[in-house]
Structure 1
């Protein structure tokens, strides 16, 4: 239990009331769970994504008594990322950025098309970095902010038939550490979460492959696929003052997969 009489602990360090959190790709799966988790912790949330993709999440936040806005954005469109980032900076103080938007292309490496490769890198890495740049600049200037990116176990491993995705997620881990080194001295913590095998649309093909699904479950000490809600708590932690001394870290949330 936290002793509220201690200096600086008059409220829970996980309390996000008064904070504004931007979440990309919040329409479903991990992004939706993270947005709802941040809202439940008290943050006002801004949901970035393709037209119509975040409407249901916004309604869920509002129904629970939270505050949510939707902003349309294709994370693979460099010009749009720059424009939306500038508009967000002009219209509000963004305290938290959660980079969740991502796509995956499953194909044998010998058959990967250059355009498909570029699209994955544009969404998963380039859009992420330049949104961090846009929203991170004022965080650095005022001396406070939190950035959390959704990495992957494929930030550490190579995977099978997902070369572009693995490359992008390795890069997300690298960008996380690079920004933490530069922005940490200015009061901005930059971290990432590496989800394990989570039951989302991205893992449907794996879960529908009986042999592959069985082999995955046999390695997970928790004995189950993770749920998107398993990632939400980690995101709230890294977005809160409880994580003020956590920086440049890639937090693995995988039911013990990496321990085997």
Structure 2
């Protein structure tokens, strides 16, 4: 029997997914079911959902947010900015000069004119690799064919490297693949990686494995978000998957 309905909406930027839900939607939990895990693990088969839960304090003029993911959260600042953009576009908040978020007791402020762009990070050389935003990166140039239909060979090559950095980056003539510590391929651009590639190759355009083009202008990248869906999730207490279900 359906015992709870949760409303949310999904947006994406450069292929990175963000699911947005208002805090009241998940304030009550059904016994044995974890609302946040269910929202991150559905729809079934997707393991890249970032979940943002928000609560607007109209009296104090800020928005309290939490940000969760099944894995490490990449591009946090970009996700927060597109979230604000989505609230403006959906007429949930009014457009103004400065927006204030509170995330994990940290106060963050974003100007209206910077919501659609992000400045690249400073890049440092570090022990044969690179350090960007406190993250370690290893860069490997290769002539490997970067196509989805060559994924088996790509994964074999990745496993042969045995990297220990936060990100392994494979590069071939403007196209790149990002791999995290657990050897999982990240299908969207990661800002630390783009920062490093821009510094090393002095190029204005790079392309991901899934042919997403990232263009750099005056040390900034511009981006657009797209609404994927407005969703209703139904918790059925006869469902055997109490935390949702993902295919890894």
Asked if TM exceeds 0.5, the reply is no
Q: Which has the larger radius of gyration?
A: 2
Query: How high is the TM-score relative to the length of structure 1?
Result: 0.29
Specify which structure has the bigger relative contact order, considering alpha-carbon pairs within 8 angstroms and separated by 6 or more residues: 2
**Structure with the bigger percentage of helix:** 1
**Structure with the bigger percentage of strand:** 2
Query: How high is the TM-score relative to the length of structure 2?
Result: 0.30
